[in-house]
Amino acid sequence: MVEKKHIVTAFDEDLTTLNDMMARMGALAETQLFASTEALIARNPSDLDDIIKRDKELDDLEAVLNEKVIEIIALRAPRAVDLRRVIVALKVASTLERIGDLAKNIAKRNKVILDTTLKTQTLPSIRTMTSMVLKMLNQALDAYIDVDALTALNVMEADIEVDKLNTVVFQSLIEEMSYDPGQLKIGPHLLFVAKNIERIGDHITAIAEQIYFLHHGEMPDQDRPKADRSSSIALS
């Protein structure tokens, strides 16, 4: 969607600033998520401390972005696509902040996991899940800047595969814990790590829905199939 420039150039500058802030938040959320899983794979607990500390930066960026949105609404009285852009910015920023919270939670759990001997076979799958949601996040952030509804729909589709993989990881972890009770020390944390990544996928899907709304002025009406079956799995 190519938009003409506003007559009041300061309005365009405000919207550019908003996009820049969003890009910074998005990049930080990506980094946090990537680093939280990589530190587990590389068995590097000091990186996890950095992730936990850095979460505040994301909180602070969200606060600044909120102020900017309020300023734009008060001073520019945005209408139509401009109004949608600032409202969507508010919601996407809030979602990115939550993704940051989940990445921080993953980091905290990974610290506990790294204190023990890892015997699980699920790490490659958890790493794959992270790669999948990182790709979704990257595409969603580009689609936000370009107001690209088609890419947003693709991002929503991609979440189904994340859900499926989470179900597989859940099943595997339950089985590992049943065969080796020693795994009970870290198994629940790994379950939450996988679940957090799956939740991040859901949040990115919510961002994609907002991008669709930004473009079309209405929410996508399709009923998205849910592929996360972990909530109905019991030990057999």
Partner 1 sequence: MKRDGDMMLSTPKIKSSGIIVEYDGKRALHGIDLDIYPNEVTALIGPSGCGKSTFLRCINRMNDVIDNCKVSGRLMIDDTDVYDPEIDVVELRARVGMVFQKPNPFPKSIYDNVAYGPRIHGLTENKDDMDRIVKKSLKRAGLWDEVSERLDDKALGLSGGQQQRLCIARAIAVNPDILLMDEPCSALDPIATSIIEELINELRERFTIVIVTHSMQQAARVSQKTGYFHLGNIIEYGETNDIFTRPQNEQTEAYISGRIG
Q: Is 73 in the site for partner 1 (CB under 8 A)?
A: no
What is the total count of residues that contact partner 1 (CB under 8 A)? 18
Taking the complex as a whole, the smallest distance from the CB of residue 219 to partner 1 amounts, in Å, to 12
User: Tokens 């401009």 sit at which residue?
Assistant: 82
Rule CB under 8 A: say whether 218 interacts with partner 1.
Answer: yes
- Is 6 strand, coil or helix? coil
Position 124 contacts partner 1 (CB under 8 A): no
User: Is the Cα torsion angle 209, 153, 217, 90 positive or negative in sign?
Assistant: positive
Of the candidates 208, 190, 203, 201, the one whose C-alpha atom is nearest the C-alpha of residue 164 is: 201
82 binding partner 1? (CB under 8 A): yes
Under the criterion CB under 8 A, does residue 235 sit at the interface with partner 1?
no
Single out the residue of 42, 63, 77, 233 in contact with partner 1 (rule: CB under 8 A). 77
CA distance 204 to 226: 14
> Which residue, 5 or 221, is less far from partner 1 as judged by CB?
5
DSSP helix, strand, coil percent of the chain (3-state; round to 5): 80, 0, 20
* 134: amino acid identity, one letter: L
Number of alpha carbons in the 13 Å side-chain half-sphere of residue 236: 4
Q: Is 26 in the site for partner 1 (CB under 8 A)?
A: no
14 binds partner 1 (CB under 8 A): no
Choose between 170 and 212: whose C-beta lies nearer to partner 1: 212
Contact range with partner 1 by CB under 8 A, out of 1-9, 24-32, 46-54, 137-145: 1-9
Residue 53's nearest CA partner among 28, 74, 85, 83 is: 28
Neighbouring CB atoms inside 10 A of 111's CB total 17
- Residue 217, phi then psi, degrees to nearest 5: 80, 5
Stretch that binds partner 1, among 42-50, 57-65, 73-81, 194-202 (CB under 8 A): 73-81
Site string for partner 1, 43-72 (x = CB under 8 A): ------------------------------
Regarding 217 and contact with partner 1 (CB under 8 A), the answer is yes
Binding site for partner 1 (CB under 8 A): 3-8, 11, 77-84, 216-218
